[in-house]
Structure 1
Amino acid sequence: MAFNTQSGTPHTFGTPSHGHYSTSSSSRAAPPSQESQQFDIVDWYPKFQSCHRYFLDHAQHSGPVQALSAFINIQLPYQKQPNPVLSAASSSPRSAGPEASHLRQPNPFAQGQSAAHAQAVSLIPYIRRLVATGHDTPAVLHGFFGDDWVSGIGELHEIERRNYLFAAKSTSWMKVKQSYDMSADETVPFLRPLRDASEKEIQAAEAGWSEWLAMQDWMLGPRAPETMGRSSRVKREQE
């Protein structure tokens, strides 16, 4: 199940012909690896904001996104009660315009209402749910987060895929499921193995897992093993 990305706004489901992070559009080209280019968080942030606005203003109101969200049992911001977020602007404190600021009265419920501000909406739960249910295809990610998804949430997507591998390696299926459940009404209905994992991705996860094992054994700084950062594993000492 995936989104058709022939237009700017998703409207039908289809099967993408491209692989992970690969599309025909230059605006959605595969991001350079961290080995070849240093990640610049300042350059990244405007792209992330673009994805955030697209998700709130367009994606959450489209039929395919609503259908898939219902299937994987996660509420969209406009469904969150009692403080729904309908768009990136409608819930902003500035939405009434600067000329109306003098008309605002102190609101004893301001703290509760602040949760409805668009800035409070995190994209991470949606990325996690797509990864865990095997729906994190390029077409679906484009449908949720727009044309800037590769540069805007691509790094976060890679991190969450790695986290999913770590979760599966570290504990049982039941505990993994519990960690991906949200509220009682938004439990994850199913878990699927990581979609289209590549050998390069698995090797990177192995290296990251080895670093974590080294952390558990305090093999840090001058004690760090010589193989740290390579694909070989760190062998833990038997207790």
Structure 2
Amino acid sequence: MSNLHGFTTHFPAGYPAFHPRGGPLAAGGSASSGESGSGQSPGTPQFDIFDWHPAYQSCQRFFLDHAQHDNGVQAVAALINICLPFQWTASPFVNSSGPLPNSGGPAGYNLPWPRPGPVNNARGQPTPTWVSLVPYIRRLVITGMDREGIMHGFFGEDWRKGIGPLHECERRNYLFAAKSVGWANVKCQYDMSPHESVPFLKPLQDVQLAEIEGAEKTWSQWLAMEDWMVGPRAPDVDSEARREA
């Protein structure tokens, strides 16, 4: 957790420590040369939100303007049963300029909830187009399709920088889901609608030991949270005190 111009920003498990430009922030917003307020150890790569966001926007534009119109991307999307923005019945997005004024067509279908459309700001002007990439990252992860070539095809040259942190989080979330409940419940959590249900699940692909160990550590922190072992009761607080003694 870090303070950014008066706003408190939370980052889910899997993100490296956050810092705005100018250096890491410890809890309370003061500079720190040791551990940051996120509990990361010294030497952990820092996450710069100002550096990340333009890369994420680049991935959004690539996905909307190019990827969704590529035959290969459309084939993958069909296989994993997820609708691309230009196929949405309500407010389809053909490109990053925004949704079409009229929707519908043979590729569309009715969803139980509306897809996002244009939103006006306080002055009545349309806000910049925004389409979440998270549903596509999640679907690629759980179907074992989150390989480098496919990620590049969906999100462009900046995919590692732009959606890499989200990809890391979703891989860890998938591990957590598998550990929490059975197969049917995991599938249910990832089904988006009757029309976009998950056709198949695959175990996490290309897993590295460091990824497993990082997930184990974060899972232990969650188990501590379930037992209210947080703050002054956090297990690592006692071990840190013993080391100092």
TM-score, normalisation: structure 1: 0.70
Q: Identify if the C-alpha distance between structure 1 residues 144 and 113 changes in structure 2 by more than 3 Å, giving closer, same or farther.
A: closer
Consecutive unaligned residues of structure 2, counting only runs of 5 or more, are: 1-41, 102-114, 120-125, 240-245
Query: What are the equivalent positions in structure 2 for 1:103-182 lying under 5 Å apart?
Result: 113-114=117-118, 119-182=129-192
1:196 alignment partner, one of 206, 209, 214: 206
- Matched-pair contact (CA < 8 Å) for 1:92–1:117: no
Q: Identify if the C-alpha distance between structure 1 residues 227 and 136 changes in structure 2 by more than 3 Å, giving closer, same or farther.
A: farther
The equivalent of 2:24 in structure 1 is none
User: 1:154 offset after TM fit, Å?
Assistant: 0.3
The equivalent of 1:6 in structure 2 is none
Q: Identify if the C-alpha distance between structure 1 residues 227 and 132 changes in structure 2 by more than 3 Å, giving closer, same or farther.
A: farther
Q: Identify if the C-alpha distance between structure 1 residues 88 and 35 changes in structure 2 by more than 3 Å, giving closer, same or farther.
A: farther
Secondary structure of 2:99's counterpart equals: coil
- Matched-pair contact (CA < 8 Å) for 2:91–2:99: no
Q: Greater share of strand residues, 1 or 2?
A: 2
The equivalent of 2:37 in structure 1 is none
Instruction: Kindly provide the amino acid, as one letter, of the partner of residue 154 in structure 1.
Output: G
Higher relative contact order (CA 8 A, sep 6+): 1
The equivalent of 1:13 in structure 2 is none
Q: Greater share of helix residues, 1 or 2?
A: 1
Q: Does 1:44 align with 2:48?
A: no
TM-score, normalisation: structure 2: 0.68
Instruction: Kindly provide the amino acid, as one letter, of the partner of residue 133 in structure 1.
Output: T
- Matched-pair contact (CA < 8 Å) for 2:81–2:197: yes
Q: Identify if the C-alpha distance between structure 1 residues 155 and 118 changes in structure 2 by more than 3 Å, giving closer, same or farther.
A: same
User: 1:118 offset after TM fit, Å?
Assistant: 6.9
The equivalent of 2:82 in structure 1 is 74
Aligned-pair identity (%): 56
Cα root mean square deviation, aligned: 2.7
Q: How many residues end up aligned between the 2 structures?
A: 180
1:60 alignment partner, one of 44, 56, 68: 68
Q: Identify if the C-alpha distance between structure 1 residues 77 and 213 changes in structure 2 by more than 3 Å, giving closer, same or farther.
A: same
User: 1:114 offset after TM fit, Å?
Assistant: 2.2
CA distance in 2, matches of 1:36, 1:219: 24
Q: Identify if the C-alpha distance between structure 1 residues 187 and 226 changes in structure 2 by more than 3 Å, giving closer, same or farther.
A: same
Consecutive unaligned residues of structure 1, counting only runs of 5 or more, are: 1-33, 94-110, 230-239
Residues 130-184 of structure 1: CA distance to partner in whole angstroms, max 9, x if unpaired?
Answer: 0000000011000000000000000000000000000000001000000010011
Residues 94-130 of structure 1: CA distance to partner in whole angstroms, max 9, x if unpaired?
Answer: xxxxxxxxxxxxxxxxx98427987342100000000
